[in-house]
């Protein structure tokens, strides 16, 4: 596979939400099966595309790649081809270094509700580099015309969402819905998912009402507690665009491990009338 084809393949896997590890021969000397630049893709189930040399070398690289897919820590691996009895991978007489790294799917923002706030959230999330999915049970609100710029549109009830997309720890679900009934019907399935974030728009009173109704349906409190509501950082936001900034600032803070605090020691911010 050419370099262009290889990187195109990586891009398609990211878009599809498929995690994969990449193993690359970065140094080779002496007699070895593959030279610098040889690449291999390793999937979570152990399948591979390409090769870094076959045999025991490749088996060890696959094992290391699976570990990297699990913990996200890249590895620089060194192997010698001299003495199998001493633990080497062959007897050809050379050495190789193989760099292994995980390529994770693009983080996805799922906007449920294609109204004014939802459209603003989708626009800003796309600008920030997220993969964006827009979902609404009203078909006219989940279209490119209503919400431009999303990568995927799902016209379905919220309860069907877990069956329509792959929800991972890198999926951030923002419910900008039109009311409590929509949330109560749709949240139970989301609370059983691996989503990294589930937020619901609205006031504290609205969420208290929703949480009470979920509890009455038998949803355990530890699952209900996964929901963040009200969403976002306190900016006194008013417009849909400002509300979108507040919500996505909280997502960025979560992803990057920020605190949300003002960074200046003595902020001098003039309040305009």
Is pLDDT above 70 for 94? Answer: yes
Question: Which residues does 37 contact at the CB level (< 8 Å), separation at least 6?
Answer: 24, 25
263 HSE (CA, 13 A, CB side): 1
In the numeric block, the tokens 């001098």 are attached to 268
In this prediction, residue 272 has a pLDDT band, given cuts at 50, 70 and 90, of low
pLDDT digits (tens, 9 = 90+) for 159-183: 999 999 989 888 999 999 999 999 9
Pinpoint the alpha helices (H) of the chain.
3-16, 55-71, 116-127, 161-164, 180-191, 204-216, 221-224, 240-256
In the numeric block, the tokens 């090769």 are attached to 51
In this prediction, residue 89 has a pLDDT band, given cuts at 50, 70 and 90, of low
pTM: 0.73
Domain spans, the chain: 15-103, 108-256
SS3 133: strand
| pLDDT > 70: percent of the chain | 93
In this prediction, residue 154 has a pLDDT band, given cuts at 50, 70 and 90, of very high
Query: What pLDDT is recorded for position 57?
Result: 83
What backbone torsions phi and psi does residue 14 show, to the nearest 5 degrees? -65, -45
What is the rounded end-to-end Cα distance, in angstroms, of the chain?
61
Fold of 108-256: Rossmann fold (3.40.50)
Query: What pLDDT is recorded for position 1?
Result: 63
The token pair at 222 is 């530890």
Which residue from 230, 243, 148 is spatially nearest to 183, judged by alpha carbons?
230
């Amino acid at each position: 596979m050419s370099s262009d084809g290889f990187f195109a393949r990586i891009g398609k896997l990211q878009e599809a939400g498929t995690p994969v590890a990449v193993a690359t021969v970065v140094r080779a000397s002496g007699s070895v099966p593959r030279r610098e630049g040889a690449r291999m893709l390793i999937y979570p189930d152990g399948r591979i595309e390409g090769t870094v040399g076959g045999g025991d070398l490749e088996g060890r690289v696959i094992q290391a790649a699976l570990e990297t897919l699990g913990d996200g820590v890249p590895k620089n691996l060194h192997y010698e081809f001299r003495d199998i009895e001493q633990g080497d991978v062959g007897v050809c007489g050379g050495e190789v270094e193989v760099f292994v790294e995980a390529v994770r799917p693009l983080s996805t923002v799922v906007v449920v509700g294609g109204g004014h706030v939802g459209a603003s959230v989708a626009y800003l999330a796309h600008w920030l580099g997220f993969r964006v999915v827009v979902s609404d049970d009203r078909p006219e609100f989940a279209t490119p015309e209503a919400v431009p710029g999303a990568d995927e549109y799902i016209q379905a009830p919220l309860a069907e969402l877990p069956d329509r997309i792959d929800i991972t720890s890198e999926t951030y679900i923002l419910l900008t819905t039109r009311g409590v009934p929509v949330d109560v019907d749709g949240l139970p399935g989301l609370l059983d998912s691996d989503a990294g974030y589930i937020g619901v728009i609205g006031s504290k009173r609205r969420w208290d009402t929703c949480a009470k109704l979920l509890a009455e349906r038998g949803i355990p409190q530890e699952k209900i507690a996964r929901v963040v509501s009200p969403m976002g950082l306190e900016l006194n936001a008013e417009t849909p665009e400002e509300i979108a900034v507040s919500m996505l600032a909280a997502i960025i803070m979560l992803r990057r491990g920020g605190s949300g605090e003002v960074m200046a020691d003595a902020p001098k911010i003039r309040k305009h009338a």
